[in-house]
A and B are shown apart, each in its own frame.
Chain A
Amino acid sequence: MKKTSLLIAGLAAAPASASTISITIPRLDVAEYHRPYVAAWLEPAAGGDARTLAVWYDVKKGGAEPGTKWLHDLRSWWRKGGRSLKLPADGVSGATRAPGTHKVALPADLKAGQYTLYVEAARETGGREIISIPLTVPAKAAAASGKTELGAITISR
């Protein structure tokens, strides 16, 4: 699993100087644990369309109840842009991640300016949490931390 995520991060990273976001999924001691659905997206601080950086869901689950059925549980992301995204999306969608820290590269074509980074997590039979951090491009280091469904979120240049 870790190998896969490293591989995805490696593929998505463009130039060596590209900035990355680290998203920590906490290990939870609960009776019924399912890996959370997670979405990360950017909104221009001055307003404008959201740009999804990553959405981790049950990509492979098909049949009568495909993995996309619960995407709307990421309710803010779904409203801000998820519902207009054609999934699976190259370089954006991926499988759910295990507890641990996962890296997402900022797109190389991101215009300089002020943004807000949002990270939202929703867990089957569990809770939901959303975190936002101001993000500047070119990126400066920043961090925030969730309380329940998300751990540390850091931006590194």
Chain B
Amino acid sequence: MRIKSLLLAAVALATAATPAMAHRQWLLPSATIFSGTDAWVTVDGAASNDLFFPDHQPLRLDGVKAWAPDGTEAKIENGATGRHRSMFDVKLDKPGTWKIGTAQESVSGTFKVDGVEWRVGGRRGPPPPPGAPAQPNSVAGIADVPANATDLQITQSASRNEIYVTTGEPTDTIFQPTNKGLEMVPVTHPSELVADEPARFKFLVDGKPAANLKISVLPGGKRYRDDDGLIEVVTGADGVAQVNWSQAGMFWLNTTYSDDKPTIPRATARRLSFTTTLEVMAP
């Protein structure tokens, strides 16, 4: 009985510490295809239930980065955070396809010292006010887990949330995988998406094709229809999933992957997630 309740508690904690499950994190570019010589993309970022309506929490801007088509890091400009939504601009001053987004890593879980349960990583929510007493039986990071700890149930989490925008001709340099964690390599370029043409995307875990991965694709604008419009597809042995678009517009794509192959010492499980927003043009 005791073991069972502890297990349940561990599961509950692990779940709570991962990025907001119910609230979807999203990035919404003003457009994904640009022409001319002075293109700027302006991006909204938030976490909310319905896409792409900001009504819950703004995106934290400190983790947002941008990469120019040649792979060099570019500047995030005019960042601002409101009650429900953050925004920022990127000047697209080089032709080709740009990548903009966040890559977050965290560790959470439990362990025991002398039979007493301890927690790694904080709960979600606002940070405690300065001077607040440290939470009892809690350590900040995996490095603080004492050597004599037992019953380690520690999950390494890594989530990517990226968008791709193109000015002029599309390029592929920024899709070069790092072969670390969960990544998407497009077969159909994200700047070539048309409502009446199926699109294919390849998913990799540590650089290897991720088979049987469930991909969720959701169109924005749920307020203007009854159905949530969810499209679910599964990757094949080659890691490739095909999406048949239901309409033109902005779509949120998300997938998660779990295994017991964490890449940091003393972690016991790994949870990876990948999110992007894709713009599908009318034919």
Contacts and interface: CB of A to CB of B under 8 A. Distances in A.
Nearest to B31: A72
Given A78-B33, A83-B168, A83-B169, A66 B281 contact: no
Interface residues of A, number: 16
A90 interface: no
A69 B192 contact: no
A68 B169 contact: no
Contact of A68 (B35, B194, B281): B35
Contacts of B22: none
Interface in B27-68: 33-39
A83 B35 contact: yes
Nearest to A79: B192
A70 B281 CA distance: 15
In the complex, which range does the number of interface residues on chain B fall in?
A: 10 to 19
B36 A71 contact: yes
B33 A69 contact: no
A84 interface: yes
B37 A68 contact: yes
Given A79-B192, A83-B169, A72 B37 contact: no
Contacts of A69: 35-36, 38-39
Interface string A44-83: 0000000000000000000011111111100110110011
Given A69-B39, A83-B169, A84-B169, A75 B34 contact: no
Contacts, number: 36
A76 B248 CA distance: 14
Contacts of B194: 79
A72 B35 contact: yes
A75 B283 CA distance: 9
B192 A66 contact: no
B282 A75 contact: yes
Contacts of B283: 76
B67 to A, nearest CB: 20
Interface in B168-217: 168-170, 192, 194
Nearest to A68: B36
Contacts of B35: 68-72, 78, 82-83
Most buried by B among A68, A71, A76, A82: A68
A71 B281 CA distance: 15
A75 B281 CA distance: 8
Given A75-B281, A79-B192, A84-B169, A66 B33 contact: no
Interface of A: 64-72, 75-76, 78-79, 82-84
13 contacts: A66-B37, A69-B35, A70-B35, A72-B34, A75-B281, A78-B33, A78-B35, A79-B192, A79-B281, A83-B35, A83-B168, A83-B169, A83-B170
Pairs of residues from A and B, 7 with the lowest C-beta to C-beta distance, nearest first: A69-B36, A68-B36, A71-B35, A72-B35, A72-B33, A83-B169, A84-B169
Given A66-B36, A75-B282, A79-B281, 16 more contacts: A64-B38, A65-B38, A67-B36, A68-B35, A68-B36, A69-B35, A70-B35, A72-B33, A72-B35, A75-B281, A79-B192, A79-B194, A82-B35, A83-B168, A83-B170, A84-B169
